[in-house]
Amino acid sequence: MAQDPIGTPRRSTSLANSTTSATGLGSSASNSIWTNDSASSRVTSGINANTASLAVGGNQNEHVQGLWDRFTFLKNTDNIKNNLLEDVLTRYSHLTQVFEEYKRESEQLIAASATNSQTQEITAWREHCDKLFQLLTRDAFAMILIDGDSMIFNTDLLRLGEDGGKKAARQLKLAAAKYLASLEGMPKELRIAARLYTNVSGLAQTCVRAGLVSSVTIVEDFFRGFTYGDDLFDFIDVGYGKDRADGKIIANFKHEVYNYQCRHILFGCSHDNGFARHLERYTDDDATVAKVTLLEGVPFEKELQTLPYPQQKFPGLFRESKIVVNSVDLVTADFSRLRHDSKNNMNVFNPNSAVFTPPSQTPAPATPALSPKTLGSDALGSLRNDLTRTNSMSSVALSEAAPSVSTPTGGGWANIAKGSAHLPYKDLTKKVAVEPLPTGPAVLLNKYDQRIDVDMEYDHDKVFSLKKIKLCNQHYIGRGCCHYQAGNRNCPHRHDAILSAEDRKWLRVVARETVCKKGTACLELDCIYGHHCPYPKQTEGPQKGVACINGVSCRFAKEMHGMDKTVAKTLREQDLDLMDV
């Protein structure tokens, strides 16, 4: 009899069967443990059955063999458990590794996504900034602001009229472009705009009075040509009024000085201190100081000279001296417009001057007290000659009537009256009989037998309007147009206009500007053409007082300029008949 571990005898057959059953059960359990969820319960049942069989019977060997079988079973069971745990751990390790890989990849994807988003945002901002920069630099320009009342173009350009204006615009643009190219930070594609402000009528009249041009139309044509010279060059007529040009220039300066697209300002105002106070406001701003350049024409006034702005001069483009208008002519001047000359500390119109008060020493000289100064008008010269002769005669009469008087306080009409008080009364109101001058057409000659033209009135507007019509002079005021009378169309001028007597008078002025083919030797009574230059003389330059304002382009010959216009001979029709002319 075999006993089980607790001493209960068991049958050997039963133990063997139990062992076999246990072994079989163990094998079956070993094979089926992974196949269903009830494997554990069946293993437990097998062990209990085996234990019961040993308890019933069996010998010691069977008991030992049963133990070994049970050990083997348990060993196999442990192997199964170990394999299970190993598989679980292996699976867990694999899943952990996969998880870490997924986690790392996710973090990388998240980081990449964030980086990509930031990159896209940065790229978008960069594109936006580039677009804004392109918008700011696409239409970059430099502005030239010119006070036309002070920055006056050279006389040689003014006299060319419209062509001179176009030439001035081209020269100004080229000079400005060259200067701007030398500045740091200027874009390559830089447009140049210019705005010129002036009172055209006032400036034109000043130029005419100064003898720079022959008519105001030339100045008007010049500024029109300046506008035509470039699409971005504008001329603005501000009209009459003090500081109108200044106000507009300052307003444009304020508009452009902080405009990024305006990369530089060329400011032409060299002789007007009024701009200095405006420019002083920006002297603490280094960027603005670097952005503005002062253009020089005439030398800078003191207040402008001390400003920290860069200065630039374009030689040959602007006048370097102020316009000097001829002295006031007392015969033709409008005394209501005369003013005090503060520079010379004297009054232009002063009743105490020697012009109106005779000198203390008498007799008076035979030369006239008032010497006429011609302003380019022969008619005024003739009138002044007549007045001079009258003054001379009066002076001689006074010197004969009054004794020489000299007082320490100087001369004057009071001294003359005092010295003449003892003389008998003499009626000075009686007019001296003057031999009447012959009338009718005549040829006037100077002492060199050069023909002198009779002085004429001049009205610019009327003369200019007739010039534009292109009338035939011979047809209206001459001997008649031979082509028109012959019925052909070889004459390029008009013959169909109806003219009044007033129009014919101004047409004679137009014809006078055409050179007579016979020159100064012409002796035709009814000649309508010019025999010497009718234009004013130059008031500056090497040809001052000799050449006319047209310079070398004048149609009149050199010998027809600066002629002696003193009449020495007067030839009338009967004189010319005797000369067989």
Burial class (CB in 10 A: 0-12, 13-18, 19+), 423: exposed
Instruction: With a cut of 60, say whether residue 19 has pLDDT above it.
Output: no
Q: In this predicted structure, what is the pLDDT of residue 352?
A: 39
Across the range 80-100, mean pLDDT stands at 87
Q: What is the DSSP letter of 183?
A: S
- Domain positions in the chain are 2-125, 139-313, 348-419, 443-578
Q: What percent of the chain has pLDDT over 90?
A: 28
Task: With cut-offs at 50, 70 and 90, classify the pLDDT of residue 214.
Answer: confident
Q: For residues 547 and 515, which has the higher predicted lDDT (pLDDT)?
A: 515
Task: With cut-offs at 50, 70 and 90, classify the pLDDT of residue 180.
Answer: very high
In 3D space, the residue among 322, 287, 319, 314 whose CA is nearest the CA of residue 192 turns out to be 314
Instruction: With a cut of 60, say whether residue 36 has pLDDT above it.
Output: no
Q: For residues 400 and 113, which has the higher predicted lDDT (pLDDT)?
A: 113
Q: For residues 359 and 573, which has the higher predicted lDDT (pLDDT)?
A: 573
Torsions phi, psi for 457 (to 5 deg): -70, 165
- Secondary structure element (H or E) that encloses residue 2, with its range: strand 2-3
In 3D space, the residue among 169, 268, 164 whose CA is nearest the CA of residue 217 turns out to be 164
Q: Which residues contact 473 (CB under 8 A, 6 or more apart)?
A: 493, 507, 510, 511, 514, 528
Question: What secondary structure, in 3-state letters, does 398-465 show?
Answer: HHHHCCCCCCCCCCCHHHHHHHCCCCCCCCCCCCCCCCCCCCCCCEEECCCCCEECCCCCCCHHHHHH
Extended strands (E) in 323-415? 340-341, 346-347
Q: In this predicted structure, what is the pLDDT of residue 251?
A: 92
User: Residue 141 forms beta bridges with which residues?
Assistant: 191, 262
Q: In this predicted structure, what is the pLDDT of residue 50?
A: 54
pTM above 0.85, yes or no: no
Q: In this predicted structure, what is the pLDDT of residue 545?
A: 67
Task: With cut-offs at 50, 70 and 90, classify the pLDDT of residue 162.
Answer: very high
Q: For residues 201 and 539, which has the higher predicted lDDT (pLDDT)?
A: 201
Instruction: With a cut of 90, say whether residue 516 has pLDDT above it.
Output: yes
Across the range 354-378, mean pLDDT stands at 39
Task: With cut-offs at 50, 70 and 90, classify the pLDDT of residue 384.
Answer: very low
Instruction: With a cut of 60, say whether residue 360 has pLDDT above it.
Output: no
Query: Given the DSSP bridges, would you call strands 9-10 and 233-237 parallel, antiparallel or unpaired?
Result: unpaired
Most trustworthy range by pLDDT among 354-368, 408-422, 516-530: 516-530
Task: With cut-offs at 50, 70 and 90, classify the pLDDT of residue 486.
Answer: confident
Interatomic CA distance for residues 444 and 285, integer angstroms: 70
Q: In this predicted structure, what is the pLDDT of residue 14?
A: 40
Q: Which of 98-107, 139-148, 310-319, 543-552 has the lowest mean pLDDT?
A: 543-552
Q: In this predicted structure, what is the pLDDT of residue 35?
A: 41
Interatomic CA distance for residues 289 and 416, integer angstroms: 67
User: In the numeric block, which tokens belong to residue 230?
Assistant: 């470039």
User: In the numeric block, which tokens belong to residue 406?
Assistant: 């000299």
Instruction: With a cut of 80, say whether residue 48 has pLDDT above it.
Output: no
**For 218-272, how does the pLDDT look when each residue is reduced to its tens digit (9 = 90+)?**
999 999 999 999 999 999 998 876 677 888 999 999 999 999 889 999 999 877 7
Q: In this predicted structure, what is the pLDDT of residue 142?
A: 95
**For 278-323, how does the pLDDT look when each residue is reduced to its tens digit (9 = 90+)?**
899 999 999 999 999 999 998 888 888 889 999 999 999 999 888 8
Q: Which of 105-119, 294-308, 440-454 has the lowest mean pLDDT?
A: 105-119
**For 390-436, how does the pLDDT look when each residue is reduced to its tens digit (9 = 90+)?**
333 333 333 333 344 444 444 444 554 555 555 555 555 555 555 45
Q: In this predicted structure, what is the pLDDT of residue 530?
A: 94
- The answer to whether the bond into 5 is cis (omega within 30° of 0) is no
Across the range 358-374, mean pLDDT stands at 39
Q: Which of 27-31, 196-200, 330-334 has the lowest mean pLDDT?
A: 330-334
